[in-house]
Structure 1
Amino acid sequence: MLDLASIRQAYERVQGVVHRTPFSYAPILSQISGYEVYLKKENLQRTGAFKLRGAFNRIASLVEKGDRGGVVAASAGNHAQGVAFAAKHFGIEATIVMPESTPLTKVQGVKEFGANVILHGSNYDEAYAYAVTFGKENNFTFVHPFTDEEVMAGQGTITLEMLEDVEDLDAMIVPVGGGGLISGMSVAAKALKPDMKIIAVSAEGAPAMKNSYDAKRPLDTLSVRTIADGIAVRDTSPITLEYILKNVDSFESVCDDEIASAILFLLEKQKVLVEGAGSVGVAALMHGKIDLSKGAKVGIVLSGGNIDVTMLSLIIEKGLMKSARKMKLMVTLVDKPGALQSFTQILTEVGANIVQIGYDRTSIDLEFGDAHVSVALETKGEEHQALIRKKLEEGGFAFREEH
């Protein structure tokens, strides 16, 4: 049974193994939002995400009952590492089934904790089905990432830490995928502070749980597509939905652009690296989707920090473009001596720093005697970019902006 007692028992189990992550005041977010904002930094957890709490509690409970026969899980990310870490801690065998498309870095991360990895299927659902069958055939216990009540109890320990640090918290904002995190956290919160507002946030590209919350019944989706891969859950769990319907006061969603802007904000302003799933609460706050009384004390869970470096690079690049700190131009020049110098002289005069440049005189879309110059510029905001456009037009240069 998932209740405050089971969550407190989980808290005793994870002591000394799971990090007590910081719950830090965020002054810039507080100023922007008008609330008193605190960030629960589960991105600094031992495996880089909150999933360790639930996985460790589940496996610890098995060991307490004398079951050391091994565990199996299906995951392409944070849950896999949590199960692998916990199994290694107790010296039991763990097998993780991961989709064949799982990045090598994630596979290696699980193997480093001593787990066996099986690559099977083209997506999570196929890996999940195989893992369940594998568990039955080998007498391994399947550790579900969110529908298991002992897993949910482990995730609920986050609430206990938050309320120990800030007793008069008015609201919690929690990321939602399968719903295990918010189920455990909300049960603890409503037991300790019944008036606390629980706000769920999901990705628009994975709408199953929000649609189910709005309809008050489980609804699945055909597919998911979001940069927040940690909460990209296709189907709704009736088990976690029941807790969400009982305890969650409002349910919001954010798009990928909003998620990306939150990741960049947290990296620049808070000096913390957070994955897409971990940033959705901040994204909702930044984009005006949270409705609370002014000055309310708000705790936001940064659920994980295991972001792929390629994705991070893309987010930074797009963020610089969106905030007018970078500008990409394709300029057509007459292919003759001095033309390129005339162009770069204008950039020098307006103080635009060239960070990348390319020269092409062979494209089939060029007129004879012309050349394309592609250039990426470091700029100082929208006014600076407007000045660059004006000076290029005055200089007679034909150009287009690239996004």
Structure 2
Amino acid sequence: MNALAATVVFEDILEARKRIADAIYDSPCPRSVPLSEVTGSDVYCKLDYLQRTGSFKERGARNALMQLTPEQRALGVVAASAGNHALGLAYHGQLLGITVNVVMPKFAPLVKVSTCRRLGANVILFGDDFTQARDKAMEMSRVEGKTYVPGFDDAAIVAGQGTMGLEILEQVPDVEAIVIPIGGGGLIAGIALAVKTLRPEVRIIGVEPVNSPSFAAALKAGHTVAVPSKATVADGLAVPELGRLPFEIARHLVDEVVSVTEDELALAILRLAELEKAVVEGAGAAPLAACLAQKIPSVLGKKIVLTLCGGNIDPSVLCKVIEKGLVADGRLCRFTASISDKPGGLSEFTALVASTGASVKEITHERAFAGGDVSAVQVLCVVETQDREHIRRLYSLLREKGIVFYQNRLEQDAPAL
């Protein structure tokens, strides 16, 4: 499979749909009343995180495996993946009797590593980023004769992912815009090709993390370029260089590309859990993150589809992300206050906080480094609040009562209150 020696046309997507139809879930795309209310758009959610392995990657993986020759099937395949592509290959390789070897970067989420192994794949953890893992997988392909199956830079993969676009147009025929996360580019290229062929007026909008802006960099340069990636909760989008084939397709079909911050991604994950009762990973939450942050004013009031394409988030990471989302939402705040160390001082302080309707979640005393006043003590407080306006009311009351305090900035870009 050599992506650079092939291209993708609309008929390839139609053939892919027939090829994978009996093994891929035709995921629903219902309207979301709560998300419509909070974003100002008429929101429909394509729930592809409900695929058997938790992501859209099964579409391309199945399509690629189905096109192997008998000799290639006998030797098995090898791939590099941060998780979801590996899961898709492992599951469908097991169904088709094809041995699957996957090289994952060392930072790959544990839930994806363990699930991949449970599905029968041989998992090798190698490298600090996707590039190093990919190089290792390609070396294995050359030495052992196994077919290398790219995660996104491949015609069969792009065609398989494009089947989601066909489903969206059938489920929401009057859709006006589709918002799609961008990692390696396979998903947005496939959907854009399918949708623009049938409905060229539908806007295709891509979303990527500010910590991994590979598509924006490629657009600026006119070709794919390697971009240093920082850690992101959207680990599935942390691809340092866009696939060349997907970029050549998508660059002419994508109408707009926006980026989202880590706080915005965390808030989107929280909103999906609260409002849709959906556990979605950072990559899958990126489309909602862009809408919540009003990064796409062109879709306000429009009928849009958010592609919630992945749900494989490590439970331990989910807990941290939810707390981060609560901070971004103004529902957790942290500050240090100087209060009386006399009997009843702490009780009076917590009662004052409670009088605003806030709840003290954690409190820590600091005496040794609290300054020269031995009658005072510093307390580090984590407080649960309703929103940012509630925090402002709490801080205003503390000032009114003469309590000296200062904010502990949990995020570098947190707004001062």
Cα distance in 1 between the residues matched to 2:8 and 2:54: 25
Cα distance, 1:25 vs structure 2? 0.7
The aligned amino acid for 1:336 is K
The change in CA–CA distance for 1:198 and 1:118 in structure 2 (over 3 A counts) is same
Determine the structure 1 residue equivalent to 2:21.
15
Cα distance, 1:394 vs structure 2? 4.0
Determine the structure 2 residue equivalent to 1:258.
264
Cα distance in 2 between the residues matched to 1:366 and 1:228: 46
Cα distance in 2 between the residues matched to 1:46 and 1:224: 30
The worse-fitting range, judged by mean Cα deviation, of 51-60 and 382-391 is 382-391
Provide, for residues 328-380 of structure 1, a one-character-per-residue CA deviation record: whole Å limited to 9, x for no partner: 23222333322222222323433332222223333475644432222222223
Determine the structure 1 residue equivalent to 2:245.
239
**Of residues 291, 297, 308 in structure 2, which corresponds to 1:302?**
308
Cα distance, 1:241 vs structure 2? 1.2
Cα distance, 1:302 vs structure 2? 1.0
1:355-394 correspondence runs (5 A): 355-363=361-369, 367-394=373-400
Structure 1 unaligned spans of 5+: none
Cα pair 1:96 1:116 within 8 Å, conserved? yes
Cα distance in 2 between the residues matched to 1:34 and 1:100: 40
Determine the structure 2 residue equivalent to 1:156.
162
Percent identical among aligned pairs is: 37
Cα distance, 1:32 vs structure 2? 4.3
Provide, for residues 79-107 of structure 1, a one-character-per-residue CA deviation record: whole Å limited to 9, x for no partner: 11111111111112111112234343332
2:170 is the counterpart of 1:186: no
1:113-132 correspondence runs (5 A): 113-132=119-138
Give the TM-score taking structure 2 as reference length.
Answer: 0.89
Cα distance in 2 between the residues matched to 1:34 and 1:331: 39
Determine the structure 1 residue equivalent to 2:4.
none
Determine the structure 2 residue equivalent to 1:283.
289
Determine the structure 2 residue equivalent to 1:205.
211
Give the TM-score taking structure 1 as reference length.
Answer: 0.92
Cα pair 1:224 1:233 within 8 Å, conserved? no
Instruction: Look up the SS of the partner of 1:247 in the other structure.
Output: coil
2:103 is the counterpart of 1:90: no
Cα distance, 1:231 vs structure 2? 1.0
Instruction: Look up the SS of the partner of 2:240 in the other structure.
Output: coil
Determine the structure 2 residue equivalent to 1:61.
67
Cα distance, 1:205 vs structure 2? 1.5
Cα pair 1:11 1:157 within 8 Å, conserved? yes
**Of residues 170, 174, 196 in structure 2, which corresponds to 1:168?**
174
The aligned amino acid for 1:216 is G
Cα distance in 2 between the residues matched to 1:103 and 1:55: 20
Cα distance in 2 between the residues matched to 1:358 and 1:33: 38
The change in CA–CA distance for 1:400 and 1:296 in structure 2 (over 3 A counts) is closer
Provide, for residues 117-163 of structure 1, a one-character-per-residue CA deviation record: whole Å limited to 9, x for no partner: 11222222111111111112111111100011111111011011111
The change in CA–CA distance for 1:265 and 1:62 in structure 2 (over 3 A counts) is same
Cα distance in 1 between the residues matched to 2:302 and 2:348: 56
Cα distance in 2 between the residues matched to 1:163 and 1:342: 60
Cα distance, 1:180 vs structure 2? 0.5
Provide, for residues 183-204 of structure 1, a one-character-per-residue CA deviation record: whole Å limited to 9, x for no partner: 1111111222222222222222
Cα distance in 1 between the residues matched to 2:19 and 2:331: 48
Cα distance in 2 between the residues matched to 1:126 and 1:304: 23
Cα pair 1:213 1:251 within 8 Å, conserved? no
The worse-fitting range, judged by mean Cα deviation, of 95-104 and 299-308 is 95-104
2:5 is the counterpart of 1:3: no
The aligned amino acid for 1:361 is R
Instruction: Look up the SS of the partner of 2:136 in the other structure.
Output: helix
Cα distance, 1:218 vs structure 2? 2.5
The change in CA–CA distance for 1:387 and 1:364 in structure 2 (over 3 A counts) is closer
Structure 2 unaligned spans of 5+: 1-6, 410-417
Determine the structure 2 residue equivalent to 1:400.
406
Instruction: Look up the SS of the partner of 2:123 in the other structure.
Output: strand
2:115 is the counterpart of 1:109: yes
Cα pair 1:213 1:244 within 8 Å, conserved? no
Cα distance in 1 between the residues matched to 2:382 and 2:335: 6
Cα distance, 1:300 vs structure 2? 1.6
Cα distance, 1:276 vs structure 2? 1.4
Determine the structure 2 residue equivalent to 1:196.
202
Cα distance, 1:294 vs structure 2? 6.0
Equivalent pairs, count:
403
Cα pair 1:328 1:374 within 8 Å, conserved? yes
The worse-fitting range, judged by mean Cα deviation, of 71-80 and 376-385 is 376-385
